[in-house]
Amino acid sequence: MASALLVFDVQRRACALPLGPVQETLRPLPVEPISGAPAFVLGAAVVRGAPAAVIDAGTLISGVPLDTPGRWVILEIGEGRRVGLAVSSVLGVYPARLFDLREAPPLLADAEPAVIQALGRRDDALLSLLMIGRVVPEEVWAALAEAAR
């Protein structure tokens, strides 16, 4: 498990990601929709000169879209693939040991898309540790590659 986590808020729900794939956080940018993408994919955006898929964390986690994303968390998830995760707010970077993380129950692992890797607590609130790497479908990556040409 990661030693440091980026903790953020998604509609008053505390979530976290391992710090490793996090490149930066920034204000939301203009997004172009991608036809046929899953409901949680807002579309694509140009972030620092490169295309990135943009995911609504609210829709992804709870099925309820964010009213107004406050920040994007930009992630590099391998093979030069970048994702902007739209969240309500970013709370900070914390040592993982503060959250008493435990493997997610099997029922959560079977959910589609399976994005919750572990559960923990932040003060008296539940904290969901996300694994974002396998969320964006190959068709979306293909559409991004086409748009970049």
Supply the range of the domain harboring residue 88.
Answer: 4-148
Question: Which amino acid, residue 126?
Answer: L
Q: Which of helix, strand or coil describes residue 37?
A: coil
pLDDT per residue rounded down to tens, the chain (149 residues): 679 999 999 999 999 999 999 999 999 999 999 888 888 999 999 999 999 999 999 998 888 999 999 999 999 987 778 999 999 999 999 999 999 999 888 876 666 667 888 899 978 889 999 987 767 767 777 777 776 66
Q: What is the pTM for the complete model shown?
A: 0.89
Rounded CA-CA distance 73/27 in Å is 9
- DSSP-derived secondary structure letter, 100: -
Rounded CA-CA distance 86/10 in Å is 9
Q: How many domains does the structure of the chain reveal?
A: 1
What is 107-139 written as a DSSP string?
Answer: HHHTSSS--EEEEEEETTEEEEEE--TT-S-HH
Rounded CA-CA distance 100/105 in Å is 15
Q: Is 97 left (phi over 0), alpha (psi -120 to 50) or beta?
A: alpha
User: CATH number of the domain that 12 lies in?
Assistant: 2.40.50.180
Structure tokens at 24: 């930066």
Judging by beta carbons within 10 Å of its beta carbon (0-12, 13-18, 19+), is residue 129 exposed, middle or buried? buried
Rounded CA-CA distance 40/133 in Å is 14
